[in-house]
A and B are shown apart, each in its own frame.
Chain A
Amino acid sequence: MNAIIFSALLGVVMMFSGILTTNKQAIKNIALVCLTLLLVANLANHYEWYSIKIDTKQMFSFGKYGYFFNTIAITATLLYVFVSGDDIVKVGSYGAEYFALIFFVLCGVTILSSYNNLLMLFLGIEIMTIPLYILTGSDKKNLHSNEAALKYFLMGAFSTGIMLMGIALLYGSSGSFGIESIVNNTSITLMKVPILEVIGLMFVFVSMLFKVSAAPFHFWTPDVYDGAPSVFTSFMATIVKSAGFIALITLFANKSEELGKLWNILLVIVIIATLLVGNITAVFQQSVKRMLAYSSIAQAGFMLFALYSRNEIARDGILLYTTAYSLATIGTFAILIKMEDHSLDGYNGLAKSQPLLAATQTIFLFSLAGIPLTAGFFAKYFMLASVIRTGGNAAIYLVIIGVLFAAVSLYYYFKVIQAMYFKEGNAATTKITPSFKFALLLLAFLIILFGVMPDALLGLFYF
């Protein structure tokens, strides 16, 4: 609860700090302080210290899992601002407002991590996406940014409409917005189909798949990620996407028994389609930014494994996965922003001109691909292990397909590494400050740390 209240309040603080100062460095520093405060507030919740005790009337079910996800999301945002803060204020002339919108997105994220009611699911999703439409279009003089914002807004509005329709149908069938009531009443079997609930759940599912950009609802992703200012793409692809997954898992996970075979077949189709589309299309991209957009679809496919297996390992694994994926993607995008040329050729010879950037970039890409000794490896390992745990032939085939596509992903991640180290060229970057280098090193260190001892992260959860 603290995180929800404080993220909204600190958003307002950020908004008003724009009146007091127009100094960009100052705004960035205020944002860093506010994020630290938010982190402290959330940790206080973890230790059962509440700012206000509210009877939420079953709207929320706060628990350690939600708090821990909040901690991860807020820490990731803190690192993100630490690395790319200077570029956020450079996008346009409203630096303070961009940060305010980021805080409002975090408010949505914290709602989604502990909602217990379809009404809150809807509000959380909306609070999370509406600021994103604006951030996508914040580079007002760039036509691509405008196009991306309009596309994202129209598609997002449609998907929200579908979700509302689904929620209305669920309400019609159970008479309540609570997610428990759906769990207990639903049994998707061929024998007796509660038609309203099935259609309602499907609508909500489709809309959520859209939000996390899983195939076949991924078509907006490349255009929007490509058109949006790179700093905000980084935010959208990491923290927001993870929150979408947490919301999906909260909605569907605790009914593993009630949901029948049909559900698993549907999920397998979605997972394979997402992996296929993301990985295969990423291979053909010439622009690194667009390649990362497709790779984020591919990573979404891996995160969907947690939804398929719905067990303890999956619950831990998704936390590890979001951490590993967020850290690596934030770093990769931070370097991408500094590049003059966003195409693959723009990275040619980066190892010569900026050895540190090339080295950290390599670590980030290793982690995204899932090479051992990086956090990405254990993230993927946990996902696959959770699927194995469910047992059955389907699980084995699913794991094999997952490993195959992880191998495909190596190809396009290594193309960037190859360009940096083995190709002649003159990779031009904008000015690199020492603090930026330090931030990159910090990210790389965290990735290696969680790669060597994933328990360091998961241990925090169970302390």
Chain B
Amino acid sequence: MNITQILFWFLSVLALVSALMVLLSKNPVHSVLWLIVVFFAISGHYILLNAQFLAIVNLIVYAGAIMVLFLFVIMLMNLSADTEPQKNVWMKLAGTIAGGCFLISTCNIVYNAQNVSQEIAGKTALLNQGNIGLIGNLGKVLFKDYVVPFEISSVLFLSAMVGAVVIGKKEKSNV
């Protein structure tokens, strides 16, 4: 076992264990913290797969921004282990079916992938290969083929910023 394989197994176990802990821990704040660990582990996987950009974005957006938002919501709603609302049977059933469907389709993809190409048959993951996820390549596509939408989206952000100021700032009293 070389170092990448060791890393792969370590990250996989970490991701699975912390994903389970998200579901099993009673305190919602702990759940969110475990979820952050899951995101870190998955980002590690992305780096092993040579997808640097995805790894960074995953950390910044999910582990950073969205999880902070989750924490805020939980703190504002003052949820804790004893105030956790009781879920009814239908909700549980719907969740099981939805999750089960996802599991089936994922298993199907893995199963089919083995048949499609001999190259990947029998391998757990293709590590350290491919360059499609490298930041350099992404930048080239972004600034060559998609430069117009990239530039135009600046108008969108500018208008959102102006809007935030207009909505957020106090009305002057002398009007």
Complex CA gap A88/B83 in Å reads 49
A123 lies within 8 A of B156 (CB): yes
Complex CA gap A48/B144 in Å reads 25
B162 lies within 8 A of A101 (CB): yes
Interface residue ranges of B119-175 to A (CB < 8 Å): 144-149, 152-153, 155-156, 158-160, 162-163, 165-167, 169, 171-172, 175
A to B CB contacts below 8 Å, 5 in the list: A8-B158, A120-B152, A127-B159, A130-B160, A141-B171
Question: Which secondary structure dominates chain B's binding surface?
Answer: helix
Query: Which bucket holds chain B's interface residue count?
Result: 20 to 34
B167 lies within 8 A of A140 (CB): yes
Binds B, one of A89-97, A302-310, A412-420, A445-453: A89-97
A123 lies within 8 A of B163 (CB): no
List the interface of chain A (C-beta within 8 A of B).
4, 8, 11-12, 15, 54, 56-57, 59-60, 92-94, 97-98, 100-101, 104, 107-108, 111, 117, 119-120, 123, 126-127, 130-131, 133-134, 137-138, 140-141
Point out the residues of chain A lying under 8 angstroms from B149, CB to CB.
59, 117, 119-120, 123
Distance (Å) between the CB of A61 and the closest chain B CB? 12
A127 lies within 8 A of B145 (CB): no
By beta carbon, the residue of chain A nearest B154 is A8
Complex CA gap A11/B160 in Å reads 13
Point out the residues of chain B lying under 8 angstroms from A117, CB to CB.
149
A127 lies within 8 A of B155 (CB): yes
Given A59-B149, A92-B171, A94-B169: A107 and B162 interface contact (C-beta under 8 Å)? no
B148 lies within 8 A of A8 (CB): no
Distance (Å) between the CB of B130 and the closest chain A CB? 19
Point out the residues of chain B lying under 8 angstroms from A111, CB to CB.
152
Given A104-B159, A131-B159: A123 and B152 interface contact (C-beta under 8 Å)? yes
Partner of B167, one of A54, A57, A107, A134: A134
Given A92-B171, A120-B149, A141-B171: A12 and B156 interface contact (C-beta under 8 Å)? no
Point out the residues of chain B lying under 8 angstroms from A107, CB to CB.
155
Complex CA gap A57/B155 in Å reads 19
Given A101-B162, A107-B155, A133-B163: A93 and B175 interface contact (C-beta under 8 Å)? yes
Partner of B163, one of A8, A54, A56, A134: A134
Complex CA gap A183/B162 in Å reads 37
Closest 3 CB pairs of A and B: A134-B163, A104-B159, A93-B172
* Interface membership of chain B positions 88-124, coded 1 if the CB is closer than 8 angstroms to chain A and 0 otherwise: 0000000000000000000000000000000000000
Partner of A57, one of B145, B160, B163, B165: B145
B146 lies within 8 A of A119 (CB): yes
Partner of A4, one of B144, B152, B158, B172: B152
Complex CA gap A120/B151 in Å reads 11
Complex CA gap A78/B155 in Å reads 21
Complex CA gap A111/B155 in Å reads 11
Distance (Å) between the CB of B92 and the closest chain A CB? 26
Partner of B166, one of A101, A119, A126: A101
A101 lies within 8 A of B163 (CB): yes
